[in-house]
């Protein structure tokens, strides 16, 4: 209590108080974390009451911070750093790391490669196929490490992004006939060079490449009408007899059917792409059949 002297009324402006001997309390901040990264400082740290505490969180490669829980409540972390501005009591911080990639994630990427063939691409196929093969072998292991899974996933995604889609065969980039007995190679029709002949009977049905889910590569040759032709520049390194079987689908039902095999002979091995052989189909002028 403050009071003025007798018979006087002083005007009080302010009081300045300076601590002389105060015992500040210390509070323990205890930090725990699972595998998948490091925290600093780890364990228990004594912090003077009222001071701040900053935690730095560093995930290992192919891990991320899944959650940070302070005294039972999940908090938001920015740039893998969390700060308590003023520590006033005992505090516990639990950090949970989680892997970026799981076995199922990698398996999904491998499964997505099923059905893809090198013919669909002009470059990048060998690297992609190797990444898929390596991942397939890794998935045979009982407990592959997270880093191994992550590296395999990165390899697949990188090589997949580097694949260059083929548009059509050319004399500079011809179709190669198989030269090993008993080995068949698929020749996608949509990679042909199209030679459309405009006839009055064609109407709106001009020869073209169209898209459809039912097609083996998602595309097919549509409206191969009378006098239209498609051709494929090719290279055959081995002379011999070859059999070609075409797959067609009726437009109305998209029901696929194979043609009767056609046998032809290449009497002389071609080391450079010769004049392209022609595959032709005559029709009534309507768009009734699709080649794929």
Convert the pLDDT of each residue in 9-35 to its tens digit. 677 778 888 877 777 789 999 999 999
Provide the residue ranges of all domains of the chain, joining segments of one domain with +. Answer: 26-99, 103-165, 175-291
For domain 103-165, which CATH number applies: 2.60.40, 1.20.1270, 3.40.1000, 1.20.140? 1.20.1270
What local confidence, expressed as pLDDT, does residue 123 receive? 94
* Helix H or strand E segment including 162: helix 146-162
Instruction: Tell me the percentage of the chain whose pLDDT exceeds 90.
Output: 49
State the average pLDDT over residues 167-190.
87
Convert the pLDDT of each residue in 31-67 to its tens digit. 999 999 999 999 999 999 999 999 999 999 999 999 9
Q: Which residues contact 75 (CB under 8 A, 6 or more apart)?
A: 68, 69, 82
Q: Which residues contact 56 (CB under 8 A, 6 or more apart)?
A: 39, 40, 80, 81
pLDDT averaged over every residue in the chain = 84
pTM passes above 0.85: no
Convert the pLDDT of each residue in 194-219 to its tens digit. 988 887 776 677 888 988 888 888 88
The residue with greater pLDDT, 266 or 18, is 18
């Amino acid at each position: 209590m403050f009071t003025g002297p007798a018979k006087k009324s002083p005007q009080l402006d302010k009081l300045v108080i300076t601590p002389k001997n105060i015992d500040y309390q210390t509070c323990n901040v205890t930090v725990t974390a699972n595998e998948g990264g490091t925290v600093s400082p780890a364990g228990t740290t004594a912090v003077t009451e009222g001071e701040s505490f900053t935690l730095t969180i560093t995930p290992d490669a192919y891990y991320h911070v899944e959650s940070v829980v302070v005294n039972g409540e999940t908090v938001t972390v920015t740039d893998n750093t969390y700060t308590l501005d003023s520590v006033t009591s005992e505090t516990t911080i639990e950090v949970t790391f989680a892997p970026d990639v799981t076995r199922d994630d990698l398996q999904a990427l491998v499964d997505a490669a099923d059905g893809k063939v090198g013919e669909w691409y002009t470059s990048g196929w060998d690297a992609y196929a190797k990444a898929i093969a390596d991942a397939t072998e890794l998935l045979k292991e009982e407990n592959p490490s997270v880093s191994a899974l992550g590296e395999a996933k990165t390899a697949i995604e990188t090589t997949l992004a580097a694949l260059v889609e083929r548009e059509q065969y050319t004399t500079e980039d011809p179709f190669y006939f198989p030269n090993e007995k008993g080995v068949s190679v698929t020749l996608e029709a949509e990679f042909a060079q199209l030679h459309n002949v405009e006839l009055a009977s064609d109407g709106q049905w001009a020869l073209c490449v169209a898209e459809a889910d039912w097609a083996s590569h998602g595309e097919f040759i549509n409206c191969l009408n009378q006098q239209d032709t498609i051709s494929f520049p090719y290279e055959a390194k081995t002379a011999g007899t070859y059999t070609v079987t075409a797959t067609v689908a009726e437009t109305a039902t998209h029901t696929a059917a194979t043609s009767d095999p056609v046998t032809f002979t290449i009497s002389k091995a071609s080391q450079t792409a010769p004049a392209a052989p022609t595959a032709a189909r005559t029709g009534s002028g309507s768009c009734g059949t699709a080649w794929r």
